[in-house]
A and B are shown apart, each in its own frame.
Chain A
């Protein structure tokens, strides 16, 4: 339940950017939230959190131990959260437990809302509606009721604290002020 043990790192090293899986674990700082303004360009790093997983099993043998997939799937916990898209009339649900990283989540969203494309441009990712060209920013409501930018915190922490998702129009997101500037300057 509690976040991983962390080393103290200067703020700039905690920024999440895109990288190859396992390209290096970047420890997180618990309680580090930032407002929209600072991360509106969506530099999402693939924090694979390799060390956070349980001790890796050796290469799994097919069909061993003999546990039926039905049972395997049922044992996975689900965390369904509602996903709202600004301007769309319907809500969808996504199971955060099925995704193990931010890029997977974005892919799942892309599949769910087929009108959107997750646009990978240089080192940025934007979500864009194919039809009307609107840009969206993925945001989520956390346990405290704050609306945060998706990609802010390590994946596991995000899964735990996320109550629901909202794809907010970029124009609206930019207008939001950072939530807790005082926290941002902490380095503990």
Chain B
């Protein structure tokens, strides 16, 4: 007779109470592994679930295990879908989830989706199924129109958040906003920045006026600047604001109204928007600058001098997104003024131009790495880089956790020495011991992957393009990176050997994407047969993979772990390499 351990004789509700203080998914998962009774207690009181790959598990299975969930977060397409590498129709449909949750989670309050295909039908189903629905966040989603939005606005009585960040919406008209009933007073966050059409400004004004708890408002480009002051006066309590188009005829009354309205917003911490900027109107925001922690100027075509003037007034800035108009000199000024900076993203103003149009080089990034001790997250587009600069950055900022460098021309060497940038990126992974995310670019041999495999022990996500020389590169990464969850590769000479030799590793990761590499159909079939808990999807728009010689590389390969088996919604250009389909194809 086994003696029961004392901890399992705690009453269930005590344990449940203790567990309620544990919010992190990882910790919750750990709790559920302790013993059967903890598993049971935990699953009954889990309120929030995050499914990083909507095809990793079936909705029915989630609902069965966690019956009391109130908040669901799902991700669909792989990250490279952002850059048009995933063909339209690949998948990521949310409807099956919503349909299942309609019966399984009648009390569902929150749905957060990323890179999923969301139909109007799905949206319409939400208020019908979830009477207490509160939060809808659609990040980089597509497939719905303003009609679906109207259904949400009209029927979700307690809606708190409607956030459409960067989704692609079929914009039939701006009417949908007027569907918020007069009784809707609960809005806390509204982000419509991605929409094209004009919404009714009077409806918007009235909506703002009756929602005293609104803290986040991101307007779309169509909201004219001369109307912004009125809107702000309806919501002076805003903490986060995205302007519409930031241009108007130069008129003193527009300016003074605007400046006045801004100065009334004492809580403002985050600003974005700024499309079509007329620099003369920038000073209208000066009064809020001292309080700003986040500034997104990545759509603002403001030149360096105006940028510098603005940044000098923002000593508390923690996050800056900006275009490369900021140039090296602007970044130097940033480094001098914004000592609390944690995240910097510099986007290219002319990514497809053959010649540089601005004076932004590696030097700008070096300055910021020197001047900003808290800098830990970087996304930087530039046209030249050197190993020296990368080594300097690495030494300056061992606290870096996310480092994404995009040298615009593929395979660009160190511009000073003509050497590959292996050593530079090697320094990054060696010094930045907590690095979780890395994107490589420039000329790179297998050597850089050796460094990565050796040092990047906390690395969770790696993006590789136009790099490496042989399978050894891929092998270093797969065998060395202990924390790797997501690996995405394009246009690299990686093939079958590394993949097959590290097949087991793939089950410890969320997903692997490889496109324009050298993986053969035969290897894909083998992998699919060997690893039943992986979905090995060959994506090839040229036609069935077996219509080509077996050593011809597949176009695209997406491998992900799953307990749900092959999915049922694959389009004609996607083949699953499980045992059955392998037999069917051969």
Asked whether, in the complex, the Cβ of A64 is within 8 Å of the Cβ of B348, the reply is no
Contact with A along B479-498 (1 / 0, CB 8 A): 00000000000110000000
- The total of Cβ contacts below 8 Å across the A-B interface reads 60
Q: Is the CB of B406 within 8 A of A66?
A: yes
B82 touches A77 (CB 8 A): no
Closest chain-A Cβ to B501's Cβ sits at a distance in Å of 28
Select A65's contact among B140, B276, B406, beta carbons within 8 Å. B406
Q: What does DSSP make chain A's interface, helix, strand, loop or mixed? A: loop
- Which single member of B84, B276, B347 contacts A69 (CB below 8 Å)? B84
Whether B354 and A57, one on each chain, are in contact in the complex, defined by CB atoms closer than 8 angstroms, is: yes
- CB of A65 within 8 A of CB of B348, answer yes
Q: Are B353 and A57 in contact (CB under 8 A)?
A: yes
Q: State whether B408 touches A75 (Cβ < 8 A).
A: no
Within 8 A of A (CB), among B350-364: 350-355
Given contacts A64-B83, A68-B82, A74-B275, contact A57 B352 (CB under 8 A): yes
Instruction: Give the distance to chain B from A167, nearest Cβ to Cβ, in Å.
Output: 23
Nearest CB in chain B to that of A60: its residue: B352
Which of A61, A63, A70, A72 is most buried by chain B, counting CB atoms within 10 A of its CB?
A63
Cβ of A62: which chain B residues have Cβ within 8 Å of it?
83-85
A169 to B308, CA, bound (A): 52
Chain A: minimal CB distance from B180 (Å): 25
* Contact (Cβ within 8 A) A66 B83: yes
CB interface residues, A 42-75, toward B, < 8 Å: 54-58, 60-72, 74-75
Which residues from chain A contact B226 at a C-beta distance below 8 Å?
none
Among residues of B, the one whose C-beta sits closest to the C-beta of A72 is B351
Instruction: Indicate which residue in B140, B347, B354, B490 contacts A67 across the interface (CB closer than 8 Å).
Output: B347
A68-B166 in contact given A74-B299, A77-B276 (Cβ < 8 Å): yes
Q: How many positions in chain A have a CB within 8 Å of any CB in the partner chain? A: 21
- Bound state CA distance, A78 and B112, in angstroms? 31
Please determine whether A63 and B406 come into contact, CB atoms closer than 8 angstroms.
Answer: no
Report yes or no: A75 in contact with B354, Cβ–Cβ below 8 A. no
Q: Are A63 and B354 in contact (CB under 8 A)?
A: no
Q: How far is the CA of A33 from the CA of B350 in the complex (A)?
A: 33
Contact (Cβ within 8 A) A70 B166: yes
User: Do B381 and A65 touch (CB < 8 A)?
Assistant: yes
Task: Name the residue of chain B whose CB is nearest to the CB of A63.
Answer: B83
CA of A61 to CA of B352 in the docked complex: distance in angstroms? Answer: 10
* B290 is an interface residue with CB less than 8 A from chain A: no
A55, A68, A74, A77: which contacts B353 (Cβ < 8 A)? A55
Q: Which residues in B have their C-beta under 8 angstroms from that of A71?
A: 298-299, 347
Residue of A nearest to B298 (CB): A71
Contact of B354 among A56, A64, A69 (CB under 8 A): A56
A65/B408 contact (C-beta < 8 A), A57-B352, A57-B354, A74-B299 known: yes
Contact A64–B166 (Cβ < 8 Å): no
Within 8 A of B (CB), among A18-60: 54-58, 60
Tell me, yes or no, whether B230 is within 8 Å of chain A by CB.
no
Residues of the A chain whose Cβ atoms lie less than 8 Å from the Cβ of B166:
68, 70
Residues of A within 8 A of B355 (CB): 54-55
Is the CB of B80 closer than 8 A to any CB of chain A? yes
Contacts of B410 in A (CB 8 A): 61, 64
Interface 0/1 of B261-285, CB less than 8 Å to A: 0000000000000011000000000
Q: Least Cβ distance of B325 to chain A in Å?
A: 12
Interface residues of B in 338-382 (CB under 8 A from A): 347-355, 381
Question: Is B194 part of the binding interface, using a Cβ–Cβ cutoff of 8 Å?
Answer: yes
B168 on interface, CB distance cutoff 8 Å: yes
Question: Are B406 and A55 touching (Cβ within 8 A)?
Answer: no
Chain A window 86-118, contacts with chain B (Cβ cutoff 8 Å), 1 for yes, 0 for no: 000000000000000000000000000000000
Query: B465 at interface (Cβ–Cβ under 8 A)?
Result: yes
Quick one: which of A161-177 are within 8 Å of B by CB? Answer: none
A24 to B375, CA, bound (A): 52
CA–CA, A63 to B491, complex, Å? Answer: 11
B85 A63 Cβ-Cβ under 8 A: yes
Pair A55/B354 contact, Cβ less than 8 Å: yes
Task: List A contacts of B354 (CB < 8 A).
Answer: 54-58
Q: How far is the CA of A60 from the CA of B84 in the complex (A)?
A: 13
Distance A177 CA – B375 CA, assembled complex (angstroms): 66
For A63, give its contact among B221, B298, B490 (CB under 8 Å): B490
Distance (whole angstroms) from the CB of A79 to the closest CB of chain B: 10
Q: B276 touching A66 by the CB < 8 A rule?
A: no
Bound Cα distance from A67 to B410, whole angstroms: 14
Q: How far is the CB of B166 from chain A (nearest CB, A)?
A: 5
* Distance, CA A17 to CA B474, complexed state (A): 56
Among residues of A, the one whose C-beta sits closest to the C-beta of B299 is: A74
> Which B residues are in CB contact (< 8 Å) with A66?
82-83, 406, 465
Cα–Cα, bound, A77→B275 (Å): 9
Closest Cβ neighbor of A68 among chain B residues: B82
Contacts of B82 in A (CB 8 A): 66, 68
Pick from A54, A64, A75: contact of B299, CB under 8 Å:
A75
26 contacts between A and B (CB under 8 A): A54-B353, A54-B354, A56-B354, A58-B354, A61-B410, A63-B80, A63-B83, A63-B84, A63-B85, A65-B348, A65-B351, A65-B406, A66-B82, A66-B465, A67-B83, A67-B348, A67-B351, A68-B83, A68-B140, A68-B166, A70-B194, A71-B298, A71-B299, A71-B347, A75-B299, A75-B349
With contacts A55-B355, A67-B348 known, what are 12 further pairs, Cβ within 8 A? Answer: A54-B354, A57-B352, A58-B354, A64-B410, A65-B351, A66-B83, A67-B381, A68-B83, A70-B168, A71-B298, A72-B351, A77-B276
Q: Which 3 A-B pairs have the closest CB atoms?
A: A63-B83, A65-B351, A57-B354
